[in-house]
Amino acid sequence: MTQDPTNANDVVQAEDGTTDSNPTDNTYYWYQSRDHSFTPSGVQLFQIACKYDGVELSTAKSQIDRDYNLLTGATSQNRHGGKFATAVLAYKEVGWIDTSSGTVRITDAGKQAEVLLSKVPDFLRVVPYFLVDLLADYQINHPGYPKVKNQALAEARGKSDIFPYWTIWKIMHDCDWRITTEELQRFVFKLKTADQIPNTVIQIKRFREDSHLSTAELDAKYPTPLTSTAAKEPKYWMGKAGAAIGDQPSLLSKPSYNEWEVSEAFRPFISHVVSTTPNFIDYVDEHSWALKHGEARRLLPDSNEEPYPSNELDETSTNTVQEVLELIYDGVRSILLSGPPGTGKSFIARRAVAELSESFNVKSLKVQFHPSFGYEDFVEGYVPTMTEDSHVPTFELQPKILKHAVRMCAEADYVVILIDELSRGDVGRIFGEAITYLEEDYRGEEFTLASGNSLTVPHNLIILATLNPFDRSVVSLDVALIRRFFTIPVRPNGEALQNFLVRGGLSNHVQNSIRSFFERAQEILPEGGLGHAHFKGADSRESLRRIWDYRLEPIISRQLAHKKADTDELRALFDQALIQSETTN
C-alpha cells in the first residue's frame, strides 16, 4: 500500500477555522469531522439551523448557538467558533446544509430531514434508507472538504476516489458482515482508491487467520495501525455508518467493545446498496458538489415495500403482532412464539419490536440458540486474553448477552432479547440461576451468579423467543422455564400463502392447485403441517419446481418416511400445480 509522508507538526484546519493535529505516524488517513449529526443534540441543532435558511453564515452561527443554549440551558462557551461552526461539517457530509455561498442554505435533502424529524414515527420508518442513500454518495475528494496545511496529505486526498461510508459497508459485506477497530485502523482508513478495496478484503481475511500472531509479528506482516488519536478513532465514522438517530435501531450493532456488525434485518438492504459502485465526480466547486449531494431522496426503496423486511403482513400475522404488543403493555416480559418451520415466527418477532420502537425507545439484541451454546455465552463467561508483555493467555470474566441487556435497560424504555430456535439449546444450562428471576414477580430482585457477582433482571427487559414445538429436543426443555413464558401459537396460514401467490403473479388455476396441496398437507403431515413461508418467491414454474425439490420434498419425505401413499398423494397434488403453471405460461 502506498504511503504519503506527512509532517507530524502540521495542522488540519477546517474551513470554519477549527484545527486538529495530524497523526504522529506517517500514513495517509481519512480525515473526519468530530461531530455526529445523528445524536439528539445534533438533531436539535439542525432543527434550529433550519430557521435560519438563507441567513448570512457569519450572523446565523451566533444566533443558532444562542437559540441552542436557550433550548438546552447551556451556559458554557464552545471552542472552535461555536457549536454550529463545528457541527456544520457533519451536516454537509449527509447533504443537509450548504454554506458555499456565505449563507446557510438548507438543501432539498435537508428539508426532507426537517419534515421527517418533526414526525418521528415516520422518520424511524425510513431513516436507514434516507441516510444510507445520502452517505453512500459522500466522497472524500470534494471541494467542500476541510482544508489542510499538510500539502502531501492534501495532494493524496485530491487523487482519492473513495466513498468512505460505501466502502465501510462494502468491506463489512465481504468480510462476514463485521469489522474491528484494529482492521479499520490498519486497512480501511488508509484506502485512497476504490481499486484497493478487493485487496483490502483479502488482507483483512488473512489478518483474521493470523490472529494468533503477536503484535510485532502482525506489524511486520501487515500495515501498522493508525495512532489512536481522535482524528482516527472509528466512533464518528461508524456512528454515522450505523445510520441511527439517537438511540433508535441502527444498521450496525456492537457485539463487543471494538467490533461492529451489520444488523441482520438490514443485510439485504446493504447488499443492494453495495451491489452498485458509486460514480466519482470531479466537482468544479463546493456549490456544485453541495447541490448534487443535497438532492432530495426517494424515501422508500419501493412504494409497495416496508422499510423493515416484511412478508406484507396478512391479517392473521398482524393480529399476532398485536397480540405480542398487548402482552407487553399488560406487563408480560417473557413471550414464546410457537409453531412449525416456515410460519413466520422470526418475522413476527422482529415486526413486533419494530412497531414497539415507533412509540418507545427500544433496544434489541438477537441470538440463536444451538447445541454448543451455553451459560458462558448467554450470561457471563471467562474469555482468554493476551497482554503485550506475555505470551501466556489469562482469563477475564466478561459479560454476555443477558448482562449486556440488563445494562442497556437503564438507557431505554424497553430492551428486547430476541431468541431464535429456543429449543435447539440446553435451555436450563443457558439461563442457569436466571430462570427464576425471569418471572415478573421476581423482577427487580438481586440474585447471585455462579461467579459470585450479583445481577438484577429489570422490569423493562423482554424475552421474545421462537420455538418449533415439534423439534425432538423440545421434550427435554426445562419445564420451569417454559411455564414462565406466555406462549402464542403461530400456525400455517392460508391467507399468507395467498399473498405470496398473488404477489408472484401466478394464475388463478395455479393458485387453486397450490391451495389444495397446502390444505391437504396440513391434514397429513404429523408435525404441525407445512409453513406458508416456504412459498415466498413463487412466481413461475421454475420457482415452484425449486420449492418442491429443495424445500418441500425433503420435509415431506422425512415426516412421511413410512407412509408412501400419503407422500404420493401430496406429490401428485403439487404436480398438478406444475402442470397448471406450464399450461398458463
Output the DSSP codes for 105-122: EE-HHHHHHHHHHTSHHH
Distance of CA 257 to the CA centre of its chain: 16
Cβ-in-10-Å burial (0-12, 13-18, 19+) of 493 comes to buried
Q: What are the beta bridge partners of residue 486?
A: 335
CB 495 within 8 A of CB 343: no
Q: Is 354 helix (H, G, I), strand (E, B) or coil?
A: helix
Helix 164-174 vs helix 267-274: crossing angle, to nearest 10:
120
Chunk the chain into consecutive blocks of 10 residues (it has 585) and report each block's average pLDDT, rounded to whole numbers: 31 34 50 59 84 90 86 61 79 88 90 71 54 86 74 78 92 93 90 91 93 90 73 74 62 84 80 83 80 73 38 69 92 92 88 88 88 89 70 80 92 91 84 88 92 93 90 58 84 86 85 90 85 86 87 87 88 85 61
Beta-sheet strand order (sheet of 259-262): 178-180, 259-262, 252-256
Q: Which three cell numbers stand for residue 195?
A: 481499486
Closest CA to 107 of 291, 250, 334: 291
**DSSP state, residue 208:** H
Q: Which three cell numbers stand for residue 167?
A: 466502502
Helices marked H in 401-506: 401-408, 427-431, 434-437, 479-482, 494-503
Distance of CA 552 to the CA centre of its chain: 31
Cα 86–Cα 92–Cα 94 angle in degrees, nearest 5? 120
Amino acid at 535: F
CB 362 within 8 A of CB 353: yes
CATH topology of domain 315-489: Rossmann fold (3.40.50)
Dump pLDDT digits (tens) for 216-236: 999 899 988 876 554 557 877
Establish how many alpha carbons lie within 13 A of residue 88's alpha carbon, considering only the half-sphere containing its beta carbon. 34
Please give the C-alpha separations between residue 205 and each of 61, 185, 261, 268, in angstroms, as whole numbers: 46, 15, 15, 22
Q: Write down the pLDDT at residue 477.
A: 60
Please give the C-alpha separations between residue 28 and each of 153, 155, 196, 250, in angstroms, as whole numbers: 6, 10, 14, 29
Distance of CA 327 to the CA centre of its chain: 26
Q: Write down the pLDDT at residue 170.
A: 94
Distance of CA 308 to the CA centre of its chain: 11
Q: Write down the pLDDT at residue 171.
A: 95
Q: Which three cell numbers stand for residue 207?
A: 489478518
Please give the C-alpha separations between residue 13 and each of 17, 86, 91, 145, 146, in angstroms, as whole numbers: 6, 12, 17, 10, 6
What pTM, to 2 d.p., does this model score? 0.49
The domain spans of the chain are 40-294, 315-489, 494-578
Q: Write down the pLDDT at residue 27.
A: 52
What is d(CA 99, CA 84) in angstroms, rounded to the nearest whole number? 12
Please give the C-alpha separations between residue 41 and each of 24, 47, 123, 231, 464, in angstroms, as whole numbers: 31, 10, 17, 21, 32
CA dihedral 21, 23, 27, 30 (to 10 degrees): -60
Q: Write down the pLDDT at residue 74.
A: 66
Q: Write down the pLDDT at residue 494.
A: 86
Q: Write down the pLDDT at residue 387.
A: 60
Cα 151–Cα 155–Cα 161 angle in degrees, nearest 5? 150
What is d(CA 274, CA 539) in angstroms, rounded to the nearest whole number? 26
Burial 133-142 (b: 16+ CB within 10 A, else e): bbbbbbbbbb
Q: Write down the pLDDT at residue 200.
A: 94
CB 21 within 8 A of CB 229: yes
What is d(CA 58, CA 65) in angstroms, rounded to the nearest whole number? 12
Q: Which uninterrupted H or E stretch holds 237?
A: helix 234-241
Cβ-in-10-Å burial (0-12, 13-18, 19+) of 216 comes to exposed
Helices (H) and strands (E) in the chain, counts: 25, 16
Helices marked H in 81-180: 83-93, 108-117, 120-136, 151-158, 164-174
Q: Write down the pLDDT at residue 311.
A: 42
Q: Write down the pLDDT at residue 390.
A: 61
In the chain, the N- to C-terminal Cα span, in Å, equals 55
Query: Other C-beta atoms within 10 Å of 296: how many?
Result: 12
Q: Which three cell numbers stand for residue 155?
A: 495532494
Closest CA to 153 of 9, 310, 347: 9
Helices marked H in 57-119: 57-72, 83-93, 108-117
